[in-house]
Structure formats: C-alpha cells, structure tokens
A = this chain, B = another copy of it.
Amino acid sequence: MNEFEFDTATSVADGDAAIHDGWDIGGNANGGYLMALAARGLLQASGRPDPISLTAHYLSPGRPGPVRIDDEVVKAGRRFTTVSGRMHRDGTTLLQLVGAFGDLSQPLGRYEHLASGPPELPPFEECTPRTREQGNVEVAMMDRLDVRIHPDHLGWMRGAPRGVAEIAGWFAFADGRPLDTLALLMVCDAFPPAVFHLDMPPGWVPTVEYTVHVRAVPAPGPVRCVFRSRFVQGGFLDEDGEVWDSEGRLVAQSRQLGLTPLG
C-alpha cells in the first residue's frame, strides 16, 4: 500500500499494472493518468529518475482492470535513456509510447530566456473547483484531484463560451500528495478541453497524440497551468499546455493533437 492514491494507482511491478477505478471521465481512464501509469513502467526500465520527453498515442479506451506495460530500452546514453513501450491488455494495445528519461535534479545548462511567465491567476482559494459534474458526463477523477479553474474561464459551463480557447487554473492532488515529475504527466491532461470555450459542437475530444516535456522538478505546492488551442481545422485541433511551479519556474510543456467532436 502506498501513502497516496496516485502512487497506488500508478504502481507497476515487472510490467504488471492495473488501471484503477476512479481516474476516469465517463468510465474511460483519463489520458494523463494512463500516461503516468505507463511512464512508471518505462521509468523503471530506464533506471533514471525523471521523464524528460514522453509521447503517447491513444489507441483504445482505458477501462479499469489489469494491464501489461512492455518496455524496450532503445539506447542508454550518457544523459538520457530512450525507451519504447506499450500498454496492452488481452492482445489490444491501449497506448504506444516513446520517451526519453534522465535526471533533472541538476540543471544541464545555465542560459535562460523565458518569453513569458506563469499565467495570471487569482489565488488557489479564489479559483473554482472542477467538480465531478461536467455537462452530462461524470468526471470521477475529480474526487482524487483538486483542480481550481480561473473564475473567468468557466463561461462554457453556463452556455456562455469566451470565444478564446484558453483555460487556466491550479492543480493539486486531493490527498495532498506532493507533485513530482511523474505527476506532471497527469497535470497536463487534468483540465477540461480549452476548445470548450469555442462555439464548437460539444462532445468528447479524442486524443490522437500527446507529448509532455518535463522541464524541471516542481517546487512544493500547487502548480499553475494554462492550456490553449490555437488551430482547429479539418477535424483536428492542437492543445498546448504550460505548467509553472510555486517558484515561477516552467516545469512542463505539453501538446496534444486531438479530434474535434464527431457528433
């Protein structure tokens, strides 16, 4: 038994793991949770402490139950170990992955240039908790997370979308589990889609591909997040995320390629 729910739900032993109940949206496990679960297996294979860049393709919905996580170390280099992997069950691949793992405890370089800073947000307590209820879908994972959304970024819930596909807020675990580099994989997929702010027909936004770059080890405390979709066209959409820690450092960047609702 682990002290925290996220660690229990992402435990992997020799490639054996399970998609745990309660990390889902309408019955299908959240993509960030699935990535973190698979990443735990790949991390173990890499022998490194931190995911640096991880890409997942989502091939089948993740229902609760046992899964296998296969890994293949492609190269163990000086700085990084590259691992290819997959999560599968009964002959069906759920996720196909490739990632680079390394050690972020010391910076690899000193030069710094940040074109912008963390998103402007009211304090954690003044933002609005994301709840289990989201339209007619039940977001069960919100029992495990403490996601607080910028109060100005909730118009879509009242049928008044902003017309700008951007959503910002805070992330913490409900049980107080500290954030680490593995958790950042989950953070990057824990918010409602930024495209809910558009006048797009509503519905499920399936992820084709999702890449997270973990940029630093987060300092203690909740992280500030912002997600933006800039280009919705031809049935596809992007969603870019930034995650900033309590010391104002960029700790993760993400990008998803998704599909517009098929409805």
Contact = CB atoms under 8 A, between A and B. Distances in A.
Interface of A: 52-53, 55, 57, 59-60, 74-75, 77, 80, 82, 84, 86, 93, 96-98, 100, 104, 107-116, 164-165, 195, 198, 200-201, 208-209, 211, 213, 215-216, 228-236, 238, 249-250, 253, 255, 257, 259-260, 262
A74 B53 contact: no
5 contacts: A107-B233, A111-B232, A211-B211, A216-B233, A233-B250
Contact of A230 (B96, B115, B201, B216): B115
Given A53-B209, A230-B115, A236 B100 contact: no
Contacts of A233: 107, 112-114, 215-216, 249-250
A133 to B, nearest CB: 25
Contacts of A55: 55, 98, 209, 211
